Amino acid sequence: MVVQKMKQIIKNWILPPAITKALVGNKIKNVPPPPSLPKNEEIEQTRVVKNRHVGKRCFILGAGSSIKQQDIKKLAGEYVISVSNTFVHPDFGLIKPQYHALSHIIAGHSHLYTEEKFVEWLKEMDNKLFEAEMFMHYGDKQLIEDNKIFEKRKIYWVEYVHWNEKINPPIDPARIPKIWSVSELAVTMAIYMGFDKIYLLGVDHDWFNGPMVYFYDKKTEHKVQPKDEDLTYVDSEYQMRRHAYIFKKYKYLYSIKKNIYNANANPNTYVDVFPKVDYDSLFNERVK
């Protein structure tokens, strides 16, 4: 009894409250991640793609300006995950990506665009994606169904959760750490599908060149066009904080298998998380 009282006195009076709090905080950091969210039938069905492509390689086709310097026709016959508005590329029809990924539409962008604009864009996308299967946020399911979009496509729904940037959970489509860029979702699902090697193209993150720099003209080749006055909050501080989060996420994803490579055409690419490889050399051994 005396010993217990002495321990309590030491805790309350000798150790400063801040130190006690820090010690408790350190213990909390080691607590395993919370259990999965209640099962969702649609998201559960996404699990069928797990390890689907073990032993294969894939290319993630981003919309960055760097792919204007690359011959992406070489991707014909490869596994490709395209994203967002990349379907406007003139060589898209030669590639015919097997998968197409979208970031969370309503939850992430409804403050910038109207639902009508989204519907117009998604319907154009639906007409140009050939047989691609979709990776989409479950929060957009109602929008897609109400407007009869992607009715003939397979959609794999995912859900996002808060990520404290400290606990690195195994990949789970029902608990994907929240994203700032659709490239995060594409890489996450590529790993989940078991690809042995994952190559990034057009994933530039060159925020210092402007808030929206793509291989296409955003004013004429994108149905969803933001107004400049709506992007005044996208300053350098915002972009630096955003990209610090994205790059930390990339490090987490790379740590899983260390099988992600940057095949960006820009020799001075800002993306230094992944090993840099020469794009053209990846096809030297292909049988002509």
Answer whether residue 122 is part of any domain.
yes
- Which secondary-structure segment (H or E) carries 155? strand 155-158
Q: How far is residue 288's CA from residue 286's CA, in Å, rounded to a whole number? A: 6
pLDDT at site 212? 76
User: 60, 287, 273, 92: which is closest to 186 by C-alpha?
Assistant: 60
Answer whether residue 140 is part of any domain.
yes
pLDDT at site 112? 62
Answer whether residue 196 is part of any domain.
yes
Answer whether residue 21 is part of any domain.
no
CB 73 within 8 A of CB 91: yes
CATH number of domain containing 253: 3.90.1480
What domain range includes position 215? 36-283
Q: How far is residue 195's CA from residue 93's CA, in Å, rounded to a whole number? A: 23
| Three-class secondary structure of residue 58 per DSSP | strand
Q: How far is residue 34's CA from residue 161's CA, in Å, rounded to a whole number? A: 11
Neighbouring CB atoms inside 10 A of 158's CB total 24
DSSP state at residue 194: T
Position 82, amino acid: S
Answer whether residue 30 is part of any domain.
no
Structure tokens at 207: 């925020």
pLDDT at site 38? 52
CB 86 within 8 A of CB 202: yes
Per-residue CA distances from 25 to 21, 144, 220 (Å) = 6, 43, 51
Q: How far is residue 129's CA from residue 100's CA, in Å, rounded to a whole number? A: 8
Query: What is the number of domains present in the chain?
Result: 1
Q: How far is residue 71's CA from residue 199's CA, in Å, rounded to a whole number? A: 15
pLDDT at site 151? 96
pLDDT in tens, 74-89: 999 999 999 999 999 9
pLDDT at site 236? 86
Q: How far is residue 74's CA from residue 265's CA, in Å, rounded to a whole number? A: 14
pLDDT at site 34? 43
| Three-class secondary structure of residue 24 per DSSP | helix
pLDDT at site 39? 64
Residue 262 neighbours by CB under 8 Å, 6+ apart: 199, 200, 203, 269, 271, 273, 274, 275, 276, 277
Neighbouring CB atoms inside 10 A of 108's CB total 18
Q: What are the respective helix, strand and coil percentages of the chain, to the nearest 5?
A: 45, 10, 45
pLDDT at site 51? 98
Answer whether residue 16 is part of any domain.
no
Answer whether residue 151 is part of any domain.
yes
Answer whether residue 168 is part of any domain.
yes
User: 185, 171, 178: which is closest to 102 by C-alpha?
Assistant: 185
- pTM for the whole structure: 0.83
pLDDT at site 166? 83
pLDDT at site 12? 41
- Which parts of the chain register pLDDT below 70? 1-39, 106, 108-113, 226-231, 285-288
